[in-house]
């Protein structure tokens, strides 16, 4: 059984192109040929061979093989004990990164995963997803992420960041937290608690690395988001203030003027791009 899917217009970062399961006949084969997307096969029972870049791999139960886009590959079921396998075809901007996390790429295309039942279960859920057409694409996307997460869990363990880069990791966590929560009434204490570091230590580390304080970064980020809203929307100053984390519009205007050199109203009036571009 194989099902081909239309190209997703909603999901460009990762999307399914096909999936299926098959009990192959002896010596069933495909190729040598290329694919335009990633294709991941997983063997439940039986045996076969997979060839890529002149290397032949013997594949058995609990193993699988990755076909990368635009690479010539060949695979065939065993003559005596042909394999039964399932597969997913997918592509998108995140595909390569997720596969790398699972330890899979052109150089290391063979995967090992147990228990086999978990892969089988996820493929069955994909097949059964046609019972609800309205939510099917979203459900299939979730199942694709779940299946890849199984492989990432079994992937190579990454080493912790070296000591001289740990500060950069914490700085990025601070910035990510602010970018996700700037519209809320957050404090530096909230950020430190989220990251799991002492407030004073985190502030010192951030300032040493970026030459600026966390509070200053938060304020400036909020003002940049406010600028986008002033230029690209017709929201009132009060609504913009609340949208970037300020309950008091007067306080917002005072801080905006200090950072940008003019009031929010004057900035909006002076912008030639007002209302002409969407907010990112």
Mean pLDDT of 63-86: 95
Assess whether pLDDT exceeds 70 at residue 104. yes
Does the residue 276 lie in any domain?
no
Q: What is the CATH number of the domain that holds 90?
A: 2.60.120.280
Mean pLDDT score across all residues of the chain: 88
Residues 7 and 141 in one domain: yes
Residues 75 and 191 in one domain: no
Q: What is the pLDDT of residue 160?
A: 56
Domain end call among 153, 184, 212: 153
Count how many residues are written for the chain. Answer: 280
Report the side by side order of strands in the sheet with 48-52. 29-33, 73-77, 48-52, 55-59
Contact 72, 36 (CB under 8 A): no
Kindly report, residue by residue over 47-65, the tens digit of the pLDDT: 999 999 999 999 999 999 9
Residues 6+ positions from 76 with CB-CB distance below 8 Å:
27, 28, 29, 30, 48, 49
Residue 18 CA, chain-centre distance (Å), reads 20
Q: Name the residue with tokens 């081909």.
A: 4
Domain that holds residue 241: 163-270
Q: Please tell me the total count of domains within the chain.
A: 2
Kindly report, residue by residue over 8-29, the tens digit of the pLDDT: 555 568 888 889 999 999 999 9
């Amino acid at each position: 059984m194989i099902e081909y899917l239309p190209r997703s217009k909603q999901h460009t970062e990762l999307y399914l192109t096909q999936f299926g399961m098959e009990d192959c006949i002896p010596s069933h084969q495909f190729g040598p040929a290329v694919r335009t997307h990633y294709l991941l096969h997983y063997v439940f029972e039986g045996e076969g061979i997979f060839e890529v870049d002149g290397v032949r791999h013997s594949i058995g139960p609990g193993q699988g093989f990755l076909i990368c886009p635009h690479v010539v590959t060949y695979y065939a079921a065993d003559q005596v004990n042909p394999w039964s396998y399932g597969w997913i075809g997918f592509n998108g901007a995140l595909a390569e990164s997720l596969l790398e996390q699972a330890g899979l790429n052109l150089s290391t295309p063979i995967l090992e995963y147990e228990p086999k039942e978990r892969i089988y279960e996820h493929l069955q859920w994909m097949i059964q997803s046609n019972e609800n057409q309205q939510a099917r694409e979203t459900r299939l996307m979730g199942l694709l992420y779940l299946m890849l997460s199984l492989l990432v869990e079994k992937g190579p363990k990454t080493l912790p960041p070296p000591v001289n880069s740990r500060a950069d990791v914490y700085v990025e966590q601070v910035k990510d937290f602010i970018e996700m929560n700037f519209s809320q009434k957050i404090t530096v204490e909230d950020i430190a608690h989220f990251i799991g570091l002492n407030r004073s230590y985190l502030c010192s580390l951030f300032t040493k690395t970026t030459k600026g304080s966390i509070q200053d970064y938060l304020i400036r980020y909020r003002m940049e988001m406010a600028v986008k809203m002033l230029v690209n929307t017709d929201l009132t100053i009060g609504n913009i203030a609340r949208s970037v984390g300020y309950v008091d519009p007067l306080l917002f205007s005072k801080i905006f003027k200090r950072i940008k050199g003019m009031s929010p109203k004057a900035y909006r009036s002076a912008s030639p791009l007002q209302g002409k571009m969407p907010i990112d």
